[in-house]
Structure 1
Amino acid sequence: ETMLGSRRVTTYLDNGEEYDVIVEGIRSEQNTPTDVQNIYVRSARSGELIPLSSVVTLQPFADSPTLNRYNRVRAITIDADLAPGVTLGTALDGMERIARDVLPTEATIDFKGQSLEFRSAGASIAFVFVIGLLIVFLVLAAQFESWIHPLVIMLAVPATLAGGLLGLWLTGQTLNIYTQIGLIMLIGIAAKNGILIVEFANQLRDEGKDFDTALKQAALARLRPILMTGLTTAAGAVPLIITSGAGAETRIAIGVVILFGSLAAVTVALIVVPTAYTLLARRTGSPGDVTRRLEEELAEPAPAPHPAE
C-alpha cells in the first residue's frame, strides 16, 4: 500500500495547525512492471527483506485504457446507425432481446441520447393520452350536467382511434411520436361529432319532444354538419400526405392518422353515437329538465284558501 499508493501514518502540530504525515513510494521508480518486481517485502518466516518477484509472478493482459461510466456504473456504450427501412423502436427492441440472451443476468441495459429521448417520449405520451381523455370527459360532464351523455360521446373515441391505427397499418407507417400526437387530436375530432348529435337531441327534448323523435331529428339535422366538417378535415390532411422534401416523413405520418381517423369519426358519429344514446340515455333527463319543471310549478296557480269555519 505504501509503495504503490500512499498511507497516512501520523499527524503533527505546527503553530496550532494539524498536518497529516503521508508516506508513499517514489513515483519515478514505479513506471514499469520490473519496478514493481523490485519492491522488497519482509518475509514472514525469516524476517529478511526479499524482492516481490520471489513470491509473485506478473502476467500481462490487455485491458481498456479508460473505464467509462454511466449513472455511476461501469458501462460500455454501443453506437450504431439504423439500416434503411428500420425504425428506432424496432432496433431498440431487437437490441434488448439480443442483450437478454447474451449478457449475464447481473448486467443492466440503459439508454442515452436519441434512444433515451425516444423511450421517455413513448412513456410520457401514454400519460398525456390518458389525461386528455379524462379532461375531455370531465369537461363534457360539467357541460351536460350528466355522466351518461359524456359517456355516449366518448364511446366514439375507441373506434375513431382504431381508424387511425388502421391507416398506419395500411400505409406501413409506425406508431411514433408524430402519429401519437395525431391520435390525441382524434380524441377532439371524435368528441366534436358526438357533441353535435347529443346536444341537439337534448335541445329537442327540452322543447317537449319524445325521446325517439328528438334523436331521429337530431341525427338528420346534424348529418350535413358532421359530413362537412369530417370531409374537410380529411381533405386538409391530403397535402400532408403528398408532401415531399425535408421532414416529409413526419408530416406524412400525422396526415395518415388524421385522414383515416376523420373518416372513421364520421362513420362512428352517425352509427355508434345514436345507438349508444338510445341504449344508455333513454332514462336520463336533458340538462333543461330541472329548469322546465320549476317553470311549470311556478306557472301553476296557487290553490284558493278555504274559509275558516
Structure 2
Amino acid sequence: LDKFKALEKEDSKLHLNVLMNQGVYIDMIVNSVMQNMIWGAILAILVLLLFLKDIKPTIVIACSIPLSVVAAIVLMYFTGITLNIISMSGLMLGIGMLVDNSIVVIENIYRLRAEGYSIRKAAVEGSKQVTGAIIASTLTTISVYAPIIFTEGITRQLFVDLALTIAYTLVASLVVALTFVPAMASVTLRKTKDIRHPWFDAAREWYGRVLEWCLRFKPLVLIIAVVLLIGSAALSLSKGLNFMDMDMETNQLSVTISAKEGEKLTFEELTQASDDVIQRISKIKGIKTVGAMAGGDSTMNLMGGGNDSVSMYILLDEDSKVKASDVEEKIVSRTKDLDCKVETNSSSMDYSSYFGSGLSVRIKGNDIDTLQKLAKEVADVMKQTKGTVDVDDGLEDMEPQLTISVDKEKAAEYGYTVAQVYQLVSAKMADSKSATTISTDIKDYKVYVQTQEQTDTKLDDIRQMTFTHTDKDGKEKEIPLTKICEMKDTTTLSTMKRDAQTRYITVSCGVDEDHNVTLLGNKIQKSMDKLNVPEGYHIEMTGEDETISDSMSQLVLMMILAVIFIYLIMVVQFQSLVSPFIIMFSIPLAFTGGFIALLLTGQEVNVLAMLGFIMLAGLIVNNGIVLIDYINQARKAGVSKHEAIISSGKTRVRPILMTVLTTVLAMLTTALGIGDGSDMMRPMAITLIGGLVYGTVLTLIVIPCIYDMFHREKNMVEEEL
C-alpha cells in the first residue's frame, strides 16, 4: 500500500484502488482473538476474587497468566508455529485452562494457611499435596492431542497447531504452578486475615446434603445420567453433521456477470451489461468502490480464460456498518430485470470452499455413453430430493460428435475388415507430423507439413466418403462409405477426467439453508443404491459429505486413542485400576452436557465440536482426579469410606468450581460469537462450556456414587493390598 501511494505521488494521473486484501481478515481475526484472550483473563481473575475474597492470592494467579502465555509463545516460536487463527484460538481456549493448576495450588496453600500452618510449611505442604494430582490432570489434558499424530488429511493439517499450542500452554502453566506460585505465595500470604464466605459455606453444606441423598439412591442417579446421555446424543446427531461454520462478516463482495442459461453474449454485450450493473449498484448505500475485469475470475485470467463473463470486486464502507448480506440482496433485486445472469458472493473467507462444498457424486467407468446415461440418472435423483439446489449433471461442456458404426458383414462383402474401414477414415483426418525443427537462440520451432486435403477436411466430407471396390469382372467402382457404415450425429464431453486411469463424470449439487448436507447425502445415497448400475461401473459420494465422513472417522480414532492414553496415565498416577476406571465415567457425563449445549444453541455437530468433545475428555477427568485423590488420601488416614466421600466432596468443591468457572468464562466470549474471528471456534467453545458445566455438576454427584459402589468399607491400605 505504501508503494502504491508513492507511485501515485510520482504520477498525478495514476490512481490505484485495492479491490481485494486478505490482510484485512488477518487483522480482524487477530484483534478479535486478542480481545477474547484479554476478556477471558479478566473474567478468570474476577472468579478468583469472588471465591477467595482476597486480593493477594488473586494477584499471584493473575501474574501466572502472562508468564504461561509468554512461555507458550516461546515454545511455539522454536517449533515453527506461526501466530494464525488456529494457533491463536488455541491460546484463547487455553487462557481459562492455564490457571487451573495455579488455582488448585494456591487454594490448597490458602486453606492450610487458614488452618494455622506457617506460611513456609503451607507453601511446601500445600503444593506437595496436589503435585501428583495436577501433574496427572495436566498429562491427561495434553494426552488427548497426542493421537493427532496418527490422523491424516485435512484433520491433521487443521489441528496440529491448535493441539501443540494448547499443550505448550498447559505445560507452561504446570511449571509455573509448581514453582512460581508457591514461591510468590510464601511472600504474599505471610499475613492473612480470617475471611468468611457465608454464601459459599451455605452452598457447600447444601451440596453435602444432596450428596448424602444421592448416595442412598445410587441406581436412580445412574439411570437418569444414562437416559440423559442417550437422549441428548440421539437428538443432537439427528440434526446431521457439517464440516465447519466459517463464514465471517466481510467488507468485500464479488459479483459475476455472465449470459443466461442457453444464451450467449458477445464481449461488447458483456461489457455493456457490466456498465449497466455498475450504474445500478453504485447507488446502493454502503458500497465504496467497484472494480471490474473481463474473463471470469482472477484465476481464469491467469490461466488464459475466455471472455465469457465479467467479475466485479466490491468494497463496502466500513464506517457505514452495512451488512454484506443486505448489500447482496439489494444487488440481486436491482439487477434481476437485466438481460444477463448476475451472481453475488460474500464468502471470501469461507474456507469450506477449499474442502469441497455441497454434494458431489463421482461416476466411474469405461464407456462414455454409459457414463453420460448414469450421470443423467444421478442428476434426476438429486433433483427429486428436496433440499438440493443448482444440480449439475457434469454434461454441460459437450461437443458435437460423428459416431461411425461399421457393419462387419457388409464390409466383408466388399473385402474390408472393420480395422481397414477405420484406417480409411483415419487417413482422411490424419494429423500432420512434425517434419523438422528450426532452432533459434530463444526457442525451438517445430515445422509441420500439411496437405490441402487435410486442411479442408470437414464432417460432411467424412459422410460423403467413398472407397474403391473391384468387382468380379475387374471393374473398379466408388462405393459410398454409408453402404457399410452407419453414421450418427451425437454429442460427447469435450474433456474427460480420469482417476487411476478410469474415466469419471462428477454430478454435483448445492444444499439449501434448511437442510443438512450429511442427512441429504444419506437420502441421495439410498436412492442411488436403487439404480441399475452395470458391472464395471461405480458410483461414490464425494464433495463436502466425503470430507465430513473422513474427518469424523479420523476424530473418532483420535478420541478412542485419547481415552486409552488418559486411562493409562491415571493408572500410573493412582497405582490402581479401579480409581481410574471410576474417573472415566465422568467423560460420558461431559459429553451429555456438550450435546445439550449444542441442542440449546441450535448448533450442528461439526469437526470443531468433535474436537471439543475430545478436549472435554481430557479436561473433565481433572475434577475426578482431584476428588478421588483426596478421597483416597482421607481413607488412607483412617477415615471411613462414607465420611471420606462426603468430606472430600465438600472440601474439593471450591477448587473444582473455581477451575471450571475460569475455563468456562474465558471461553464465553467465543461461545457468544463476540468478535469477527470467533464464529469458526464457536461450536468448540459451546461444546466445552456445556460439557464442563454439566459434567462438573454430575461429577460431584455421580462419581462419588460410583466410587461408593466399587469400593468396599475397608481401610484404603487393606483394600489396595
TM-score (norm 2): 0.34
| Paired amino acid for 1:154 | M
1:137 equivalent in alignment to 2:577? no
Residues 163, 260 of structure 1: 8 Å contact kept: yes
Check whether the contact 1:29–1:35 (CA below 8 A) recurs between aligned residues.
no
SS of residue matched to 2:604: coil
Does residue 111 in structure 1 map to residue 542 in structure 2? yes
Mapping for residues 85-234 of structure 1, pairs under 5 Å: 86-101=515-530, 104=533, 106-112=537-543, 114-234=544-664
Q: Distance in 2 between matches of 1:183 and 1:76?
A: 38
In structure 2, which of residues 485, 498, 502 is the aligned counterpart of residue 73 of structure 1? Answer: 502
State the distance in 2 between where 1:108 and 1:222 align: 58
CA distance in 1, matches of 2:524, 2:471: 54
Distance 1:244 1:204 in 2: 44
Contact in 1 for aligned 2:586/2:621 (Cα 8 Å): yes
Residue number in structure 1 paired with 2:696 = 266
Quote the offset at 1:101 in angstroms: 4.9
State yes or no: 1:83 paired with 2:512.
yes
Structure 2 residue aligned with 1:307? none
Question: Is 2:463 the counterpart of 1:32?
Answer: no
Flag the 1:199–1:55 CA change in 2: closer, same or farther, 3 A. Answer: same
Tell whether the 8 Å contact from 1:238 to 1:255 is kept in structure 2 after alignment: yes
Q: Displacement, 1:97?
A: 4.2
Q: For the structure 1 residues 269 and 252, does the alpha-carbon distance in structure 2 shift closer, same or farther, using more than 3 Å as the test?
A: same
Distance 1:289 1:46 in 2: 117
State the AA in 2 paired with 1:124. Answer: Q
After superposition, the Cα gap between the structure-2 partners of 1:55 and 1:261, relative to the gap in structure 1 and judged at 3 Å, is: same
CA distance in structure 2 between the partners assigned to 1:199 and 1:32 by the alignment: 87
Query: Cα–Cα, structure 1 residues 284 and 250, in superposed 2: closer, same or farther, change >3 Å?
Result: farther
The alpha-carbon deviation at position 74 of structure 1 amounts to: 2.3
Deviation at 1:75, TM superposition (A): 1.9
CA displacement at 1:116 relative to structure 2? 4.2
Amino acid corresponding to residue 462 of structure 2 in structure 1: D
Hey, what's the Cα distance between the residues in 2 that align with 1:27 and 1:203?
Answer: 96
Amino acid at match of 2:708: T
User: In 1, are the aligned partners of 2:598 and 2:686 still within 8 Å (CA)?
Assistant: yes
Which stretch shows the higher mean deviation, 55-64 or 66-75?
Answer: 66-75
Deviation at 1:99, TM superposition (A): 3.6
Given that 2:712 and 2:719 are in contact with CA atoms closer than 8 Å, whether structure 1 keeps it comes out as no
Matches of 2:719 and 2:581 in 1, distance apart?
21
- Superposed CA deviations along residues 109-168 of structure 1, whole A, max 9, x for unmatched, are 1425x5543332111011001111111011111211111111100011111101101111
Shift of 1:275: 0.4
Deviation at 1:273, TM superposition (A): 0.7
User: Quick check: 58-67 or 72-81, which moved more?
Assistant: 72-81
Q: 1:36/1:257 Cα in 2 relative to 1: closer, same or farther (>3 Å)?
A: same
Once the two structures are TM-superposed, the CA of residue 44 in structure 1 deviates from its matched residue by 11
CA contact (8 A) 1:167 1:257 kept: yes
For residue 184 of structure 1, report the CA deviation from its aligned partner. 0.9
Aligned amino acid, residue 542 of structure 2: F
Q: Is the 8 A contact 1:240 1:254 kept in 2?
A: no
Distance 1:46 1:204 in 2: 119
Greater mean alpha carbon deviation, residues 27-36 or residues 115-124: 27-36
1:236 aligns with 2:666: yes
SS in 2 for 1:76: strand
SS in 2 for 1:163: helix
SS in structure 2 of the partner of residue 62 of structure 1: strand
Deviations 1:57-116 (A, max 9, x none): 21211222222223433222234444335554345445434544557375411425x554
Report which of the two structures shows the higher radius of gyration computed on alpha carbons: 1
- What is the CA–CA distance in structure 1 between the aligned matches of 2:526 and 2:473, rounded to whole Å? 59
Q: 1:301 maps to what in 2?
A: none
Higher strand share: 2
With over 3 angstroms needed to count, the CA separation of the structure-2 counterparts of 1:38 and 1:143, relative to structure 1, is same
Q: Which residue of 2 aligns with 1:256?
A: 686
- CA 1:122–1:45: 2 relative to 1, 3 Å: farther
Amino acid at match of 1:121: S
Tell me the distance in 2 between the aligned counterparts of 1:44 and 1:246.
85
Q: Which stretch of the first structure deviates more once superposed, 219-228 or 114-123?
A: 114-123
Matched with 1:61 is 490
- 5+ residue gaps, structure 1, are 7-25, 294-309
Residue in structure 2 matched with residue 297 of structure 1 by the alignment = none
User: Does structure 2 retain, via aligned residues, the 8 Å contact 1:41–1:51?
Assistant: no
Quick one: distance in 1 between partners of 2:490 and 2:599? 53
Identity of matched residues, %: 22
SS in 2 for 1:59: strand
Cα deviation, residue 192, structure 1: 0.6
Task: Measure, in 2, the Cα distance between the counterparts of 1:214 and 1:279.
Answer: 14
User: Counterpart amino acid of 2:539?
Assistant: T
1:34–1:94 distance in 2 versus 1, CA, 3 Å: same
| Alignment gaps of 5+ in structure 2 | 1-418, 428-452
Alignment partner of 1:57: what SS?
A: strand
Shift of 1:45: 9.6
Shift of 1:214: 2.1
C-alpha displacement of 1:175:
0.6
Contact 1:197–1:219, Cα closer than 8 Å, also in 2: yes
CA distance in 2: counterparts of 1:257 and 1:45, whole angstroms = 90
* Counterpart-to-counterpart distance in 1, 2:533 and 2:596: 40
Report if the CA contact (8 A) 1:189-1:265 is conserved: no
User: Contact 1:241–1:255 at 8 Å: present in 2 too?
Assistant: yes
* 1-structure distance, mates of 2:668, 2:626: 25
Tell me, in whole angstroms, the C-alpha distance in 2 between the residues paired with 1:41 and 1:96: 55
